[in-house]
Amino acid sequence: MISIDRFLSDEQDPKAVEKVIGKLNDLLTSGEELLYLAVQKKPAVNLLPDSIAISNKRIFYCEPGNLGLTMNFKDISWKNIKEVSFKEEFFGSKFICVPQQGENIVTEFIPKVQARKLHQAANQQLEEYKELLRQQKLEENRATASPINLSAQPFLDVPLLEKAEPELIQIAEVVEEPEDETTLKLRKLKTLYDKHLITQEEYEAKKAAILDSL
């Protein structure tokens, strides 16, 4: 059960928070945590305020219905959100959610302090989701790398190095210079051929392909 106390730090309406939290308890999925909740404060009558809740998986929009007897919930996951922002006005702030598709979702009359913290929490979760996507993309790129890169061997012939004197190895490490990508590929290809891992025909074909790519 979620405690409402930690969502009352910025003068949120306790009754509104209690009603929203009571419903959100049943909507949260496994591993989902509620991070912040902001409650609308209209300049005149504020009997039925809307609320916005931020979790580590999505944004909840909570709107009272039937004169407060029911609560309508809409949610949008971080993968479907392009960006979030807020705009301070005379009466509170507007909190703006820009989805990947469709119209912006704008909620008015959010108290300024709550709007700032709402934006901070939402923006942090959005950045964490984008970082997760970047990491997944890097993993996919590694998994789909070309076979010649996956099976690449050191350009120095290891068996020969094992027989060499330590002094000679040290000298080789000192005087070697960085090579361009084409030279490195040709050297790796020659190593594979010298070790009889590819035939002469394959060697000549791959060598021609590398040179043709220049």
- Residue 169's pLDDT is what? 47
Beta carbons within 8 Å of 132's beta carbon, 6+ residues apart = none
Q: What b-and-e string marks burial along 3-35, b requiring 16 or more CB atoms within 10 Å of the CB? A: ebeebeebebbeebbebbbeebeeebeeeeebb
- Residue 99's pLDDT is what? 95
Q: Check residue 52 and report its DSSP letter.
A: E
- Residue 149's pLDDT is what? 54
- Residue 159's pLDDT is what? 52
For 16, 33, 66, the CA distances from 41, given in Å and listed in that order, are 11, 25, 19
- Residue 172's pLDDT is what? 46
**Cα–Cα dist 198/191, whole Å:** 10
Helix (H) or strand (E) holding 110: strand 105-110
- Residue 174's pLDDT is what? 47
CA dihedral for 161, 164, 165, 168, sign (positive or negative):
negative
CA torsion 86-58-137-104 (nearest 10°) is -40
Q: What is the mean pLDDT of each run of 10 residues along the chain (214 residues)?
A: 83 90 90 94 84 95 85 93 94 94 94 95 94 91 70 50 50 55 85 84 86 79
Q: Can you tell me which residue has the tokens 């060499």?
A: 164
